[in-house]
Homo-oligomer: A and B are copies of this chain.
């Protein structure tokens, strides 16, 4: 292993990322709320020497019950349970800056980092939609810009809390009866627009210092936030050219923010549908499409596009007069991606739903293991990706197939590790340095 190395993240979701996956004979429709399902997935991913596991999240019920498996285990809870069932793999939980308080969330990630021996990661999201807002005393979602302003202040406070103990604050002098050195404790005493947090944190500094910071918003505000804070970025990209643009943009933003661009990893999502021949892969994809309930897809699309119920016709095109991204207060970049995909490929609403059914806007790719490995190598070597967010259409079988058939090819090409290094933290695995404590950074003279 000498050349630049790929990073692979396993995005675990229910019985798979395809919305109809639960209807396949092989799928357990209760799996998404059973620990054993995730233990099995985590062990498959660890067998494939993946960098990390990832769980999405929102503090609301995402869909009605008729459509598909609803509800979930809270991600930090589930990943804590998985920490004890695995040894190496990173554990990335999504949590919202809009609907948490910095003190509580900073403690929880610090605790997971300790319990897992330095394997915690945080996918920082601002949470679109009024459904979540209404679970926290608000009538509607705060404006997009305000959500990102709050996210930035949240990060500033959380970073101070994680640094509020110096690494060597514990003295443990039994004879003198002195356990720790209070001069190495730095309460943030933060008073800002959204938060007042005196501190210090009640958890010592953790193996990684703090969790790996991951981000997944691609709007202008989202990119600016990523350039400043994120060490890894998840993104939905439909074309090589689009992914290259995004990659170049984020790297140059990081550089402009005074950071080493290599310390910001870009990971587009891919929904691989594997077959031992192309025809088999296509058939697997068609089988999934045949199980889509299109009426549900219409509801969800109207929701994403912020259209009144009943606007869309299944066999017609999208309306021509959709508002620009700037008028959308929800998930801005996902909105644009979906509209552009429909326009570019002249899709009817039905076809669009079929395309989104697999990965909600992520690149779906049906093919042989060789073809999938080729696609990954191309994006990786042509400036579109530092690695991938692997989003199997069906779980566990799709992850198992990827580990059995694609990972060995990536290894054979020298692109991916063949085993885990001993006792690596998640940040080390992504090739990133352990962060210095901000209270110890020498003042520039």
Residues of A within 8 A of B (CB): 20, 22-25, 27, 29-30, 33-35, 58-62, 64-74, 76-78, 80-81, 83-85, 99-101, 103-104, 107-108, 110-112, 114-115, 131, 134-138, 165, 169-172, 174, 177-182, 184-185, 195-204, 291, 293
- Residues of chain B with a CB closer than 8 A to A115's CB: 35, 73, 77-78, 81
Asked if B169 and A77 sit within 8 Å, CB to CB, the answer is: no
Residues of chain B within 8 A (CB-CB) of A76 are 77, 108
CA of A33 to CA of B80 in the docked complex: distance in angstroms?
A: 15
Tell whether A59 pairs with B107 under 8 Å between CB atoms, given A77-B76, A198-B134.
Answer: yes
Q: A74-B203, A202-B59 are in contact. Are A66 and B179 (CB under 8 A)?
A: yes
- Interchain nearest-CB distance for A68 vs B (Å): 5
Residues of B close to A197: CB separation below 8 A: 134-137
The smallest beta-carbon distance between A296 and chain B, in angstroms, is 8
Residues of chain B contacted by A70 (CB below 8 angstroms): 179-180, 202
A22 surroundings in chain B (CB, below 8 A)? 174, 179
Give bound CA distance, A336 to B285, whole Å: 70
The residue among A27, A78, A104, A182 with the most chain B CB atoms within 10 A of its own CB is: A104
A65 touches B180 (CB 8 A): yes
- A198's partner among B131, B170, B182 (CB-CB below 8 A) is B131
> Most chain-B Cβ atoms within 10 A of its Cβ — which of A34, A65, A177, A185?
A65
A199 to B201, CA, bound (A): 31
Cα-based distance from A108 to B33 in the complex (angstroms) = 13
With CB as the reference atom, state the residue of chain B lying closest to A96. B104
Known: A115-B73, A179-B70. A29 touches B174 (CB 8 A): yes
If A65-B185, A71-B204, A137-B197 are given as contacts, then 14 extra A-B residue pairs at C-beta distance below 8 Å, sorted by A number, are A23-B174, A29-B170, A33-B114, A35-B115, A59-B202, A64-B180, A65-B181, A70-B179, A72-B202, A73-B111, A73-B115, A81-B81, A99-B101, A99-B104
Bound Cα distance from A138 to B65, whole angstroms: 39
Q: Pick 24 A–B contacts, CB within 8 A, sort by A.
A: A20-B177, A22-B174, A24-B174, A27-B174, A29-B172, A33-B114, A33-B203, A35-B115, A61-B185, A65-B171, A65-B179, A65-B182, A71-B201, A73-B111, A73-B114, A76-B77, A76-B108, A80-B80, A80-B81, A84-B84, A99-B101, A100-B104, A136-B196, A177-B291
Instruction: Give Cα A332 to B84, complex, Å.
Output: 40
Report B-chain residues with C-beta under 8 Å of the C-beta of A180: 64-66, 70
Contact B33 A204 (CB under 8 A): yes
Smallest distance from the beta carbon of A10 to chain B beta carbons, Å?
A: 20
Copies of this chain: 2
CA A62 to CA B202, docked complex, whole Å: 8
B residues within 8 A CB of A137? 195-197
Count chain B CB atoms within 10 A of each CB in A24, A85, A185 and give the residue with the most.
Answer: A185
Bound complex: CA of A75 vs CA of B171, how far in Å? 24
Nearest-CB residue, chain B, relative to A74: B111
Q: Given known contacts A115-B35, A196-B134, A196-B138, is B29 in contact with A60 (CB within 8 Å)?
A: no
> A67–B69 Cα gap in the complex (Å)?
51
Shortest CB-to-CB span from A391 to chain B, Å, is: 20
A27 partner residues in chain B, CB cutoff 8 A: 174
Closest B residue to A205 by CB, please name it.
B71
Are A177 and B23 closer than 8 Å at their CB atoms? yes
Looking across the interface, which residue of chain B has its beta carbon closest to that of A34?
B114
Residue of B nearest to A203 (CB): B71
In the complex, the answer to whether A66 meets B114 with C-beta atoms within 8 Å is no
Bound together, the chains give a CA A178 to CA B293 distance in angstroms of: 9
**Separation in Å of the A66 CB from the closest CB of chain B?**
5
User: Are the CB atoms of B66 and A182 closer together than 8 Å?
Assistant: yes
Residues of B near A177 (CB, < 8 A) are 20, 23, 291, 293
Residue of B nearest to A83 (CB): B81
Q: Which residues of B contact A134 (CB under 8 A)?
A: 196-198
B73 near A203: Cβ-Cβ < 8 Å: yes
